[in-house]
Amino acid sequence: MSEINMPKKNLLSMQIDPAKFEPASEDEKRQADVMSESTSFFRDGMRKLMKNPLAVGSIIALVLIILLILIAPKIVPYGYEEIIKVAGSKDKTITNLAPFAWSEKEQALIASGTKLFPHIMGTDSLGRDYFIRVIYGTRVSLTVGLFASILVLIIGVLYGSISGYRGGRTDMIMMRIVDIIYSLPDVLIIILLSVVLNQTLNKSNPIVKLLGTNMVAIFIVFGLLYWVGMARLVRGEVLKIKNNEYFLAAKATGASSWHIIKTHVIPNCISVIIITTALQIPSSIFTESFLSFMGMGVQAPMPSLGSLANNARAGLQSYPWQLIFPAMMIVIIVLAFNLLGDGLRDAFDPKLRR
Amino acid sequence: MAVLEQILEDGQEPLLKVIDLHTSFTTDNGEVQAVNGLSFNLNPGTTLGIVGESGSGKSVTAYSIMRILEANGHVTAGKILFQGEDISSYSEKQMADFRGNKISIIFQDPMTSLNPVYTIGNQIVEAITLHQEVTKEQAKLEAIEMLKQVGINDAERRFKQYPHELSGGMRQRVMIAMALVSKPSILIADEPTTALDVTIQAQILELMQELQKKYHMAIIIVTHDLGVIAQMADEIVVMYGGRICERGTAEDIFYNPCHEYTKGLLKSIPNVDNMKEKLVPIEGSPINLLNLPKGCAFCARCAKAMKICLEEVPPELRMPDGHLASCWMNVKNNNYITEEEAGA
Amino acid sequence: MTKYLIKRVLLALLSIFLICMITFFLMNAVPGGPFSSEKAVSPQVMAALEARFNLDKPLWQQFVMYMGNILHGDFGISMKTGREIAVTLKSCFSISAKLGGSALIVALFFGVIFGCVAALYRNRVPDRIIVFMTTLFTAMPSFVLATLLLLVFCIQLKWFPVWDASNKSYLLPVIALAAYPTAYITRLTKTAMLDALSQDYIRTARAKGVPMVWVIFKHALRNALIPVITYLGPELAYILTGSLVIENIFTIGGLGQQFVQSINNRDYSMIMGTTIFLAIIMVFCNLLSDILYKVVDPRIKLES
């Protein structure tokens, strides 16, 4: 390619500039080839998540609620089981106050110049500050939801990955067990178990004392029954991973089973696990509030959102806000977790959409 | 662009005329320009092969003609004339009458192209009753007859079966039967053999050729498989980045490629001539249709790219042997003839 | 198909057996057993009772006898009321079945319709409204919705009586029970519909010249309904457990209220009977929905 032959016929209407027929440099070529920015799986997912206003809103709402339940008990001068006494004496008019209302004695105190902390959500039928009860109720519901989900996570992931990893007969037997557990009516068994445990558990046991027999029942049932969904999902993922070449390669190099599970299996199904857990939390909260509403949840005087809603039924006609506050709290928490779970799913695993 | 217009105006009325077709898809990341100014003619009874790699816009072209693009895809410009009638201005209802009647299409994956919850008989009868005034009984007889035509033994039994009970090749035969029940004048085959075993591939291609003769229909075959194209096509269109690089007869394209992309494509596949040579893959990856380069779509991957390639879209020029190519190298090397010379 | 059927029925029977076993032995783990009561009973009466209910026999033998009785539809006698449990269950069941059945149908009907509308108007106004409502209702426990409905329509507006067994008074409880499953089915139908509409066979149908309406109703909907059918089992379980609280809130004398009452009364034989009865219904309906699923989807017929 010594010199450039000019076109012999000027057939094209344009003027041809010989300089344009110089070979293009690599840089110039690269500029013409505008590629989309390449991102890692995690970064891409986070970017999508942060672009989802509902998911971001949910994260903010959940952070605010968590801050609230951590800080409020330090600021509000009332205890959740404390029947409020005004100036050291009992006050009959302090029951069932409306939000931000004062009892007669309190009004007198305020008139004399004392500063009192307002009853943000009023008081309940025993004269306890309702705001702090709702805060503690939220604490209980969130904690139960969280711990139950962690329990589900651990058992489900272990069971599912072992079943999928071992395959063959082990897998078949383990999955039959899952099938059977899956067909058991969970809520009925929880109810049954709390009835029985109520009678049989040693109430002086510190754990039982702390949680109450019903909570122990809930955790036992979550540990026994609720993990099957997670186990099925994880098993499915593991089976998919097992068909990949890198899995074979790891096996061929003689890596130990535990090593393979740890470095290849779990990281590859982590998105499924996270999403399922995020969606498990609201469902655990649902179950807890349902049981508490039936009077089978946490032991009084410890409140939970469900038991608060249940107690409010008696005075529904006169004090509807006693229902509305805990009910709204449940709806907000469950909504936030649901939206966050959906957002995570859309961002990290669009195929999981069911 | 005189050449292009001339092809479009020349000769007898073509069966199908696609003029300056543009199709794009709206996505979260922007507008994906899948087809960018595509024109071709199709004459009755002939076979046109559209070849190109994934993302070259070949399937989108087929779907644009049928107007069966996904919801986010739309034809933004261009005309499609069928027997001189502008079908791109048809209403959706007119188009529904037209599809499967005058032009039919078969798809790449016969595994997923049939509805799993209906028997194949049900699906073929549906295609018949949509376009013909016949009773259910007549339609059934016609469907079974059609199944026999496409070489399905035991058609009466197959008629009652579900898609999952048939093999891949069998399903593709069913697809062909379903496409041909209304005796269309054009059959579009979108990668008809890609998902099939090699032995089955040959059978399906033979079947298509046989039926083409029988019904005197035109075929547009869309594929990335140069072997299939060589066997089937009277005329070949090579696409890259939603544009035509080169077009001509199989002989022109295979023995005298005049576009750098076609040359690269031919070097990257084994054949009798280069058996002993090393295969040369085309470097780089397919272009990003979100950001088309200003000039030639292939410039970023082209070893011989020149400055002008980056700046201007190459015109379509007639090669000395009469076929057409759009590559600036031909201008540089004076490797083209004027229309007067071509006419002489 | 036959092989699958046999396997599935065996699994259901095994589940029922397990539930009976769990219930029986759990109840017997309660100190004093299912037949203890607070009232002091003379030793003679106790012995007579024990003989009458075979309590003097070993536990496993009692279990075998109990199972035998259940097979004959005999759930024993309530220790609190002295009435036959089977009779109580039967009378309560008709009310619960009407309530639950209506909720099931309402949820299915509206869920599928809303789901289709949302899929077809994707990202447009109807879809956004439906998405908003489903998100809200999947976050609202049934007891919250029920209490709110009671508060607004029975107490404040007085449009409905709380409960008088007339058809009209079924409306609010049915809404409360059906809200969550409706929202869930709507979401399920929408995703399934969108999934179906993006399938190759939809393109084939359009290419054949099938009008859009038929593409949606004949080709897409049938496929989209398959996942909805698999949800029928869980939906029923939700409605059954949901009715435990709903019946209490609206004071409906169905199985749910009976169950909660027997728990509060510590009527162990009644709890046992009700649990087993409810569990049998659930397992049976799960079985039905699984079989229905296989019938609707021809692809799985041949597999075991």
Note whether B305 contacts A21, CB cutoff 8 Å. no
Q: In what order do the strands lie in the sheet with B103-106?
A: B103-106, B186-190, B218-223, B47-51, B235-240, B243-248, B324-325, B317-318
Neighbours of chain B (3+ CB pairs under 8 A): A, C
Q: Considering only CB atoms, which residues of chain A are within 8 Å of chain B?
A: 4-5, 7-9, 11-12, 14, 16-17, 19-24, 28-36
Are the beta carbons of B114 and C204 separated by less than 8 Å? yes
How much is the mean pLDDT over chain A?
79
Least CB-CB distance to A184: which of C15, C31, C195? C15
Domain boundaries of chain B, sorted by first residue: 242-344
Q: Which of A1-15, A156-170, B69-83, C161-175 has the lowest mean pLDDT?
A: A1-15
Distance from CA of B327 to the nearest CA of A (A): 12
Does the distance separating the beta carbons of A185 and C237 come in below 8 Å?
Answer: yes
- Asked if C62 and C96 sit in the same domain, the reply is no
B259 in contact with chain C, both atoms CB, cutoff 8 A: no
Q: Which of B288, B300, B334 sits opposite A7 (nearest CB)?
A: B334
B328: which chain A residues are within 8 Å (Cβ-Cβ)?
21
| Cα distance between residue B178 and residue B187, in whole Å | 11
Contacts of A8 in chain B (CB under 8 A): 334
Which pLDDT value is given to residue B276?
Answer: 67
- Structural domain count, chain C: 2
Q: Do C95 and C52 share a domain, yes or no?
A: no
Strand B16-27 relative to strand B218-223: parallel, antiparallel, unpaired?
unpaired
C47 with C133, same domain: the answer is no
Are C110 and C237 found together in one domain?
A: yes
Mutation choice for C interface testing from A188, A293, A310 by most C CBs within 10 A: A188
Task: Tell me the average pLDDT of chain C.
Answer: 83
Q: Is C92 inside a domain boundary?
A: yes
Per-residue model confidence as pLDDT tens for chain B (344 residues): 444 445 555 556 789 999 999 999 988 778 888 898 899 999 999 999 999 888 888 899 999 999 988 888 889 999 999 998 898 889 988 998 899 899 999 998 888 899 988 999 999 999 999 998 999 999 999 999 999 989 898 999 999 999 988 988 899 999 999 999 989 999 999 988 888 888 888 889 999 999 999 999 999 999 988 888 888 899 999 999 889 999 999 888 888 898 988 888 888 877 666 666 677 777 777 777 777 778 888 888 888 888 888 888 888 888 888 889 998 888 888 888 877 777 65
Bridge partner list, B219: B47, B187
Global pTM value: 0.80
Residue C142 structural domain: 88-296
- Please report, for chain A, the start and end positions of each structural domain, with discontinuous segments joined by +: 129-352
**A52-92 pLDDT, tens digit each:** 888 999 999 999 999 999 998 888 888 887 887 777 777 77
Closest to B236 in 3D by CA, of B219, B260, B216: B219
> At C280, which CATH number?
1.10.3720.10
| Option in B300, B304, B334 nearest A33 (CB) | B300
Determine the pLDDT at residue B3. Answer: 47
Same domain, C199 and C112: yes
Domain assignment present for residue C243? The answer is yes
Report whether CATH 2.60.320.10 matches the domain A129-352: no
User: Would an 8 Å CB–CB cutoff place B305 in contact with chain A?
Assistant: yes
pLDDT digits (tens, 9 = 90+) for C103-155: 999 999 999 999 999 998 888 899 999 999 998 998 888 888 998 888 888 87
Contacts of C5 (CB under 8 A, 6+ apart): C291
The alpha-carbon gap from B140 to the nearest alpha carbon of chain A, in Å, equals 37
Best of A5, A14, A31, A33 to disrupt the B interface (most B CBs within 10 Å) is: A33
| Residue among A296, A313, A353 whose CB faces C147 most closely | A313
Question: Does any domain span residue C104?
Answer: yes
- The residue among C24, C182, C34, C198 whose CA lies nearest residue C106 is C182
C31:A199 CB<8 A: yes
In this complex, the chains that touch C, judged by 3 or more CB pairs closer than 8 A, are A, B
Q: pLDDT per residue over A239-267, tens digit each?
A: 888 878 888 888 888 888 788 877 777 77
Do C48 and C176 belong to one domain? no
CB contact under 8 A, B331 and A34: no
Task: Say if CB B144 and CB B151 are below 8 A apart.
Answer: no
Q: What is the pLDDT of residues C25-69, one digit of tens each?
A: 888 777 655 555 555 566 777 777 666 666 677 778 888 888 888
> Residue A324 has what DSSP assignment?
H
Residue B94 contacts C where some CB pair is shorter than 8 Å:
no
Residues C101, C229, single domain; the answer is yes
Query: What distance in Å separates residue A312's CA from the closest CA in chain C?
Result: 10
- Cβ of A33 within 8 Å of Cβ of B294? The answer is no
Q: A282 near A195, Cβ under 8 Å?
A: no
Q: Is residue C301 part of a domain?
A: no
Question: What's residue B10's pLDDT?
Answer: 53
Answer whether residue A301 shows pLDDT above 90.
no
ipTM of the complex: 0.82
Say yes or no: C48 and C103 in one domain.
Answer: no
CB-based contact B113:B163 (threshold 8 Å): no
